[in-house]
Amino acid sequence: MKLNEIFKRQSLFVPIIAIVLGLVLGALVMLAGGYDPILAYQSMLTKIFGSTFDIGEAIRTIVPLVMCGLAVAISFRAGMFNIGVDGQIIMGSLGALIVGTQFNLPPFLHGLVAILVGALFGGLWGALVGYLKATKGISEVVTSIMLNFIALYFSQFMINLFMLQKGTQRSEMIHDSASIQVSWLSNLAGGARIHWGFFIVILAVIFYQVYLNKTKWGYELRTVGLNPHAAKYAGMSVSRVLVRTMFISGVFGGLVGAFDVLGVFKYVAISSTTSGLGFDGIAVALLGGNTAIGVLLSGILIGALTYGSQGMSFGAGVPGEIIRMVIGFIIFFVAAPGIVKLLFRPFQKKTKKKV
């Protein structure tokens, strides 16, 4: 699988045009379906910016998307396609849940330990994928799919074993001391569930940028991703780089899980499917070109659109899924810039003729 072409630097022109085209195409679909696109986009914007609560909740949607984007992006940069972020999230939730329900620690410290354990669970789950790829040569695509399901059922097993809230399909609540909600900010944002993750995600983006571009390990990671043969020739341990990278990727995923448990829901529900956030992370990473700033921006865009889509059905009677389509269109245009150029060629020719 050649992932290299994803990394090729391209001008900002293509993504911006892609976003505009995506929204326009979405509007056309709505028109064709007999909806009012202007009203729909209006209600979307109202939903996002309507109140401090909404802004807070929109950011709450953005945080895990950026994290998942980083998790997918870092593995892409090492030449791996990680569709196992979902599983890493589950393991992160499980780790945080165990610490949050089974231990008694002083407030701040309890949350910190729970986050760290969640991150570690996710990291190890990711590292397992890297390890199997490095030592056995098993495609990371297959292992991460399998590990997603295994994580799902393993987590259910653990919850059923000793953390089940009797008579419900969910776990016990975490102890209050383990909560990572930031109450003064939440109050400020009209009760939106704001948690430590807001700050940690910024640290994660900075970490990603510095790690990849300024450190020895980042240099190794990029070399392995672009040319594993050259990496071997340069004396790098490709296996170690793969495991290390997948560990970091898993930590990002694990953090998402920990945030959900400790900062948003306070428990883990028993569900028959994984969250799908990891797959959204693929979209974020691809749209962001696997760079730190790109992932941050695309995470903000996709997160805001996703949150705002809830307002569309309420405000304009448009099914919110239209936003999924818009996101699909945007990534499609980013992935095939030739199509964007094709659409603009008639205009370019005209301007040339005028000159």
Partner 1 sequence: MNKADIALELKGITKRFPGIVANDSISFQLKRGEIHALLGENGAGKSTLMNIVFGLYQPEEGEIHVNGEKALIDSPNKAIELGIGMVHQHFKLVEPFTVTENIILGTEPKRGMQTDIKGASKKVKQLSEQYGFDIDPMATIDSISVGMQQRVEIIKTLYRGADILIFDEPTAVLTPQEIIELLEIMKRLVAEGKSIILITHKLKEIMEIADTCTIIRRGKVIESVTVADTNPQELAEKMVGKAVNFKTEKQPAKPKEVFLEAKDIVVVDRNGKNVLNHLSFSLHAGEIVGIAGVDGNGQTELIEAITGMQSVKSGDILLQGKSIVNHTPRSISESGISHIPQDRHKHGLVLDFSVSENTILQTYYHPEITNKRGFIDVKARNEMATRLVKEFDIRTPGIDTRVGSMSGGNQQKIIIAREIDKDPQVMIAAQPTRGLDVGAIEFVHKQLIAQRDQGKAVLLVSFELEEILNVADRILVLFDGQIVGDTTPDTTNEQELGLMMAGKYERGGTNEAK
Partner 2 sequence: MDIIANLLNGTLVFSTALIFAALGGLISERSGVINIGIEGFMVSGAFFSAVTAYYAEAAGFGAFSPWLGLIGAFIFTVIFSSIHAVASIKYGANQVVSGTVINILASGSTFFLVKMIFAGSAETPILANVFHKVRIPYLTDIPFIGKVFFNAYPTTYVALALVIVLHFILFKTPSGLRLRSVGEHPNAAATVGVKVNRMRYMAVILSGSLASLGGATIVLTSNSNFAYNTISGQGFIALAAVIIGRWNPIGAMLAALLFGLAQAVKDQFQIFDFAANIPTEFFYMLPYLLTLLVLIGAVGKSRAPKALGEPYEVGKR
Question: Would you mind telling me the total number of residues written for the chain in this entry?
Answer: 355
Question: Please, is 334 exposed, middle or buried when counting C-beta atoms within 10 Å of its C-beta (0-12, 13-18, 19+)?
Answer: buried
Query: Which residue among 230, 269, 293, 339 contacts partner 2 (CB under 8 A)?
Result: 339
Tell the smallest beta-carbon distance from residue 310 to partner 2 (Å): 14
Q: In whole angstroms, how far apart are CA 9 and each of 15, 142, 257, 314, 345?
A: 12, 29, 32, 40, 22
Structure tokens at 292: 């730190």
Q: Are 172 and 272 in contact (CB under 8 A)?
A: no
Cα dihedral 327, 328, 329, 331, rounded to 10, equals 80
Structure tokens at 57: 């909740």
Structure tokens at 130: 């890297």
| CA-closest candidate to residue 74, choices 281, 236, 335 | 281
Which positions touch partner 1 (CB under 8 A)?
A: 4, 7-8, 214-217, 219, 222-223, 226-227, 229-230, 232-236
Tell me: does residue 137 bind partner 2 (CB under 8 A): yes
d(CA 301, CA 284): 9
Tell me: does residue 147 bind partner 2 (CB under 8 A): yes
Name which of partner 1, partner 2, none residue 143 binds, using a CB cut-off of 5 to 8 Å depending on partner kind: partner 2
- Which residue in the block uniquely carries the two structure tokens 């059922």? 153
- Across 224-324, the runs of DSSP E, i.e. the strands, are none
Which parts of 258-287 interact with partner 2 (CB under 8 A)?
Answer: 272-274, 279, 282-283, 286
Tell the smallest beta-carbon distance from residue 243 to partner 1 (Å): 17
Chain CA centroid to CA 48, Å: 19
Tell me: does residue 3 bind partner 2 (CB under 8 A): yes
Tell the smallest beta-carbon distance from residue 213 to partner 2 (Å): 22
Name which of partner 1, partner 2, none residue 215 binds, using a CB cut-off of 5 to 8 Å depending on partner kind: partner 1
Structure tokens at 208: 């990603």
Tell me: does residue 156 bind partner 2 (CB under 8 A): yes
Name which of partner 2, partner 1, none residue 137 binds, using a CB cut-off of 5 to 8 Å depending on partner kind: partner 2
Which letter does DSSP use for residue 177 in this model? G
Tell the smallest beta-carbon distance from residue 247 to partner 2 (Å): 19
Query: Closer to partner 2 at the Cβ: 149 or 207?
Result: 149
Name which of partner 2, partner 1, none residue 214 binds, using a CB cut-off of 5 to 8 Å depending on partner kind: partner 1
Name which of partner 2, partner 1, none residue 227 binds, using a CB cut-off of 5 to 8 Å depending on partner kind: partner 1
Tell me: does residue 14 bind partner 2 (CB under 8 A): no
d(CA 107, CA 92): 20
Query: Closer to partner 1 at the Cβ: 156 or 223?
Result: 223
d(CA 351, CA 355): 6
Query: Closer to partner 1 at the Cβ: 195 or 244?
Result: 244
Tell me which residues touch partner 2 (CB under 8 A): 1-3, 5-6, 29, 33, 81, 83, 132, 136-139, 141-143, 145-150, 153-154, 156-157, 160-161, 272-274, 279, 282-283, 286, 313, 317, 319, 321-325, 327-329, 331-332, 334-339
